[in-house]
Chain A
Amino acid sequence: MWRTVSFVERVEVDFDGNLFNQALTLADIDNDKANELIVGNTEGDLAIFKGTNRTPWKVCTDLGMITCIGVGDVYGKGKNILVVLTAEGWCYLFEVKGESSSGENGKETEEELDKIVKPSFTQHLPANGKVLLIADIDGDGQTEVVVGYSDRVVRCFTWSVSQDHEAEQASGKFLQSGKWQLTGQIGSLTVNMCEDGRPELLVSQPGGTYVTLYHDTEEEDANIHKFENERLGISRTRNTSISTEIVGGIKKGIRGEPFEAGTFYALCTLDGTLLLVENKQILWSLQVDHQLFSLTKLDITGNGKEEVVCCAWDGQTYIVNHTRDVVRYHFEENVKAFTAGQFSVTSSDNVPCFVYATFNNKIYIYYNISLPQVESTNLIEVMDRIPETHQLLQQLNIINPDTKKLREIYHWCLYGKKAQT
């Protein structure tokens, strides 16, 4: 049986309408180092929540059917930009400014106006985008916007500033820089670090598989880029059309080794398989009875190693570390969207959080979730890992103690203060 925990402290915010799992994200959009929660629904409402407020900090309406939200430095200016993509193909960029100096115009209407954010740039891209990734996928230092479409196409866009009108305000737009035509429906997109430090772009495919996308093109058609199907050697036969999620860049957290040592990536399927993969080798797999639909990574213990966090439709949440120790948390409601990440509950500190969007038009942010360790452990095990313990026990003439003796010694150490004087 797996360890289970219960989380209590939460922020409850109101948000109406249906939303996609990709349209719920935690990121710092006003560049104040404190993360916000950004949500968009299918009615076209965008809301940004900050801190413990129940009501949105910023809103925007009538955007269309928002399918995904991403945050990243798309302009390449070292500033986070909010990117909202709709099913109709509209891509909205928002430059959200931090807290404006309030108090000067104290009128309520002004405050209401202050709440509304307007997109600073709009561009029509191909329609039916369902997943969005904003990252540097080719290691050139520039951030790309990668969109996966419901017609099994992945397109990559780069921001380009037109140099013609230098006198005018520099205008820019997204230019398509890559296109991949895949064979299966796209689950999610992710970037993973290879062992040689290069980023690789991975796309999950039905049946617990994924493809690696390459930047070089096919010989016959220069517009179509190459990709490679990866078949993971999973013994279990199962539904080959089951939808699959992938998350990459899971930090190994090995001390002394640089980030370039590569990262893990994880896959989950809707029929309950969870895999941790390193360099095409499955490190472990896990089978659960719940329908896993959302997969994220989060360092919940604060030790530098990122855990895999996976959520099922019925609220069952699994936190799994690199050695396959599992902690479960059961959110007692059905979940329509889930994410895990850093969020700022107080003014500046980001803390690990779980965000659940329910069918009751409420979003819950659980903010006091950090755990000392993922596995179940006791004092004897912890002491055993400290080399000095063995040395001290030897000094005390306790050689090869059994559990019973250790228990007595530790019990006395912790509670027998008077006897020590």
Chain B
Amino acid sequence: MDQRGWRWTDAHFCSLPSQAALYGITTTPQTNVYTHAKVIEPEGSNKLLVASLTGKIVSVEYQRNAKKLKPSTKEVQFTYIPGDAELVSLDVATRTSQQGSGLLIGITFLKQTQTEDGEHTCMQYLNLYSFSQSEEDSHYVDSVAQTCVTLELDFMPYQLIHTECVTDDDMETVFLLSGNDQKIHMYREDHVAPVLRFKEEDIENYFPELCSPGSSVFCTFPVVVVLKGWEGMFDSPITCVKIFNPDNQVSFPEFMQDTEGKNNSVQEESPAVYNLLVMSSLEPTVVYRNILANGLDNALYLPGSCNYDIPLCACVADIDFDGCNEILVGTYGQELLAYKLMQEDDQIPMLQKSPSIMKSKISSPANISSYIGGEPAASPRQRNLTGSGHTGRDPRGAITLPRKAKSQENLCSSLPKNQDTILRGELSEEDLNETVSDRKLCYKLLWQRSFASPVVGVDRVDIMGDGMDDMVVVTLRGVHVIQPELGEVAQVCLERLRNLALSRESNEEDIEGHIQLNIDSQLTTENCSPETIT
């Protein structure tokens, strides 16, 4: 019960429109999916926009009709994009300016034109669309864009992102676009104009740190405040960078707060810990832990993350519902790898995923670790690579009982329920301490999943609107929505609801006595044979 495999399966696969079939023979689709963006709508009907090189933009969402949940894929028509345009990048932002709220969608594309003397020229554009929020219709993207701003670019656009920018006294959403002119361009809404208008602003005034990136910038990330600067050098191009918190913070639902006792309303303010994930094309992916305190010194490698061709994308999400974030790595080698931060001697929950064949494909974990142990200390030219950088041994070799993972999961059904609640409190605190004290932690491969074509994007989005984040994996052939086995998730959810209900009931009771009882029972369970729980 405790060691769940959390097998994630396809909830839906949306094959993207491919180029025309020749003579009835369906050729292998060559839809180069370049970019995707998620649209978070207030009603919970989240969707995903996927743009392909062929100029098609597809929206993937779930709809409910006749009491059945159905996936739906629609092509969204954006005006002012010529039919032969090649899309480069796409970004969706929520607009938070004084001139109204709503969605902003930015699309960069190229257009080949032929001049009269037969020469081909390429024009680059950035189109910015705004969708305002209306009361009745929450599905913005379906409605035609109200306004469109077209900006002609004199450079080749690469990645388009948005970020919050501190203007005079307000936070404002701005778009950042990297280009082949080795610069990052910033686009900001023009508030003086009566209609929607964007103009390029000098980036030096807002993001002085981004004015000289040095080389071609393919990958950018939003930064709110720059506190410190570090420099590290990688041997190969960096494909993805992410800053993330090791834990999730989810506030208690408001409508339950007022009826709530004091124990739940008190939110624990944990110090902000930021980890930095750097993915480079030929080296294992690195996580620099707690960069605000340690800089780039505390590095952990994701073993085997570069064994499946180039790692292209990453997503940080809590995929096993224990409150700690895991890392998903998508590779060109058609694999999605899930990593979890664990104690070195912890065992990976055995996942009976794919029989035998994978074994020959995956080089054995022992090989990976020996490679990691030897190589990377030399490869990224880092100043300091401390011992924590070296990764785990063969997980099957280390014979220890999976006690830690069990207590994290905390679903000891053998214990009486109210004891379980308080036991949970005890253990999670212990968890926290261990994370802070930082002893022999390493990332381990939790599971991996193969896809039919290279994985170019992975993101978490609650596309089904049920409170659980589904994983969206974009490959060169289409979009996969993957979800864990819902029966298992429901069990976890139910368990926590049960605890919540019990903790409320026991609020008025004498808790002290219970704690004593629980510690005793906990000790006995830990000491005597653990098989009774497993």
Chain A residues engaging chain B, CB cutoff 8 angstroms: 1-6, 8-9, 11, 51-52, 314, 325, 330, 332, 345-346, 349, 351, 367-368, 371-373, 375-383, 386, 388-389, 392-393, 395-398, 403-421
Q: A1-B73, A52-B357, A410-B468 known; A418 and B497 CB under 8 Å?
A: no
* A190 CB, min distance to chain B CBs, angstroms: 30
Whether A392 pairs with B501 at a CB distance below 8 angstroms is yes
Q: Which single member of A330, A383, A404, A411 contacts B490 (CB below 8 Å)? A: A383
Whether B465 pairs with A378 at a CB distance below 8 angstroms is yes
Whole-angstrom CA separation of A410 from B467 in the bound complex: 5
Chain A proximity mask over B413-430: 1 for CB below 8 Å, otherwise 0: 000000000001100110
* B335 CB, min distance to chain A CBs, angstroms: 10
Whether B493 pairs with A395 at a CB distance below 8 angstroms is no
Residues of A within 8 A of B250 (CB): 411-412, 415-416, 419
Using a CB-CB cutoff of 8 Å, which residues 475-534 of chain B contact chain A? 478, 480, 485-487, 489-490, 492-494, 496-501, 504-505
A-B contacts, 15 of them at CB < 8 A, read: A3-B11, A5-B10, A5-B13, A8-B334, A9-B357, A345-B357, A351-B355, A371-B10, A373-B486, A376-B68, A386-B490, A411-B467, A413-B500, A414-B493, A420-B499
* A403 CB, min distance to chain B CBs, angstroms: 7
Residues of A within 8 A of B264 (CB): 419-420
Whether B467 pairs with A417 at a CB distance below 8 angstroms is no
B140 close to chain A: CB less than 8 A = no
Whether B497 pairs with A396 at a CB distance below 8 angstroms is yes
Whole-angstrom CA separation of A383 from B489 in the bound complex: 9
Whether B252 pairs with A412 at a CB distance below 8 angstroms is yes
Residues of B within 8 A of A373 (CB): 486
Whole-angstrom CA separation of A381 from B62 in the bound complex: 14
B344 close to chain A: CB less than 8 A = no
Whether B357 pairs with A11 at a CB distance below 8 angstroms is yes
Q: A416-B248, A421-B428 known; A382 and B487 CB under 8 Å?
A: yes
Whether A376 pairs with B11 at a CB distance below 8 angstroms is yes
Whether A8 pairs with B452 at a CB distance below 8 angstroms is yes
Residue in A closest to B12 when the chains form the complex, CB atoms? A3
Q: A346-B356, A386-B490, A392-B494 known; A418 and B467 CB under 8 Å?
A: no
Residues of B within 8 A of A397 (CB): 256, 259
Whether A4 pairs with B14 at a CB distance below 8 angstroms is yes
* A336 CB, min distance to chain B CBs, angstroms: 15
Whole-angstrom CA separation of A129 from B493 in the bound complex: 57
* A405 CB, min distance to chain B CBs, angstroms: 6
Whole-angstrom CA separation of A154 from B492 in the bound complex: 56
Q: A372-B487, A377-B69, A415-B321 known; A395 and B355 CB under 8 Å?
A: no
Whole-angstrom CA separation of A408 from B9 in the bound complex: 24
Q: Among A51, A371, A419, A420, which residue has the most Cβ atoms of chain B within 10 A?
A: A420
Chain A proximity mask over B3-36: 1 for CB below 8 Å, otherwise 0: 0000001111111000000000010100000000
Residue in B closest to A370 when the chains form the complex, CB atoms? B9
Whether B251 pairs with A376 at a CB distance below 8 angstroms is no
Whether A4 pairs with B15 at a CB distance below 8 angstroms is yes
* B243 CB, min distance to chain A CBs, angstroms: 19
Residues of A within 8 A of B10 (CB): 5-6, 371
B295 close to chain A: CB less than 8 A = no
Residue in A closest to B463 when the chains form the complex, CB atoms? A378
B119 close to chain A: CB less than 8 A = no
Q: Known contacts A1-B71, A9-B357, A376-B12; can you find 16 more A-B pairs with CB under 8 A?
A: A3-B71, A325-B68, A367-B357, A379-B486, A379-B493, A382-B490, A386-B490, A388-B494, A396-B500, A398-B256, A406-B467, A407-B44, A407-B462, A414-B489, A417-B322, A418-B270
Whole-angstrom CA separation of A411 from B252 in the bound complex: 9
B199 close to chain A: CB less than 8 A = no
Residues of A within 8 A of B323 (CB): 415-418
Q: Among A1, A389, A409, A413, which residue has the most Cβ atoms of chain B within 10 A?
A: A413
Chain B residues engaging chain A, CB cutoff 8 angstroms: 9-15, 26, 28, 43-44, 62, 68-73, 247-256, 259, 264, 267-268, 270, 318, 321-324, 334, 353-358, 424-425, 428-429, 450-452, 462, 464-469, 478, 480, 485-487, 489-490, 492-494, 496-501, 504-505
Whether B13 pairs with A9 at a CB distance below 8 angstroms is no
Residues of B within 8 A of A372 (CB): 9, 485-487
Whether A421 pairs with B268 at a CB distance below 8 angstroms is yes
Residues of B within 8 A of A376 (CB): 11-12, 62, 68-71, 464
Whole-angstrom CA separation of A289 from B450 in the bound complex: 29
Closest 5 pairs (CB-CB, A-B): A417-B323, A410-B467, A416-B250, A411-B467, A378-B466
Whole-angstrom CA separation of A296 from B468 in the bound complex: 35
Residues of A within 8 A of B28 (CB): 332
* B438 CB, min distance to chain A CBs, angstroms: 18
Whether B452 pairs with A379 at a CB distance below 8 angstroms is no
Residues of A within 8 A of B256 (CB): 396-398, 409
Residues of A within 8 A of B492 (CB): 413-414
Residues of A within 8 A of B268 (CB): 418-419, 421
Q: Which single member of B11, B252, B494, B505 contacts A416 (CB below 8 Å)? A: B252
* A309 CB, min distance to chain B CBs, angstroms: 16
Whether A4 pairs with B252 at a CB distance below 8 angstroms is no
Whether B486 pairs with A382 at a CB distance below 8 angstroms is yes
Whether B253 pairs with A409 at a CB distance below 8 angstroms is yes
Q: Among B28, B324, B466, which residue has the most Cβ atoms of chain A within 10 A?
A: B466
Whether B251 pairs with A419 at a CB distance below 8 angstroms is yes
Residues of B within 8 A of A8 (CB): 334, 450-452
Whether B13 pairs with A408 at a CB distance below 8 angstroms is no
Q: Which single member of B248, B358, B451, B467 contacts A409 (CB below 8 Å)? A: B467
* B504 CB, min distance to chain A CBs, angstroms: 7
Whole-angstrom CA separation of A409 from B468 in the bound complex: 10
Q: Which single member of A332, A346, A411 contacts B468 (CB below 8 Å)? A: A411
Residues of A within 8 A of B11 (CB): 3, 376
Whole-angstrom CA separation of A330 from B499 in the bound complex: 44
Residues of B within 8 A of A392 (CB): 494, 497-498, 501
Whether A379 pairs with B13 at a CB distance below 8 angstroms is no
Q: Which single member of B70, B452, B468 contacts A1 (CB below 8 Å)? A: B70
Whether B12 pairs with A417 at a CB distance below 8 angstroms is no
Whether A389 pairs with B494 at a CB distance below 8 angstroms is yes
Whole-angstrom CA separation of A376 from B70 in the bound complex: 6
Residues of B within 8 A of A382 (CB): 486-487, 489-490
Whole-angstrom CA separation of A377 from B467 in the bound complex: 13
Whether A4 pairs with B467 at a CB distance below 8 angstroms is no
* B490 CB, min distance to chain A CBs, angstroms: 5
Whole-angstrom CA separation of A330 from B13 in the bound complex: 10
Whether B486 pairs with A420 at a CB distance below 8 angstroms is no
* B475 CB, min distance to chain A CBs, angstroms: 9
Whole-angstrom CA separation of A6 from B9 in the bound complex: 10
Residues of A within 8 A of B253 (CB): 405, 408-409, 412
Q: A8-B450, A395-B501 known; A52 and B356 CB under 8 Å?
A: yes
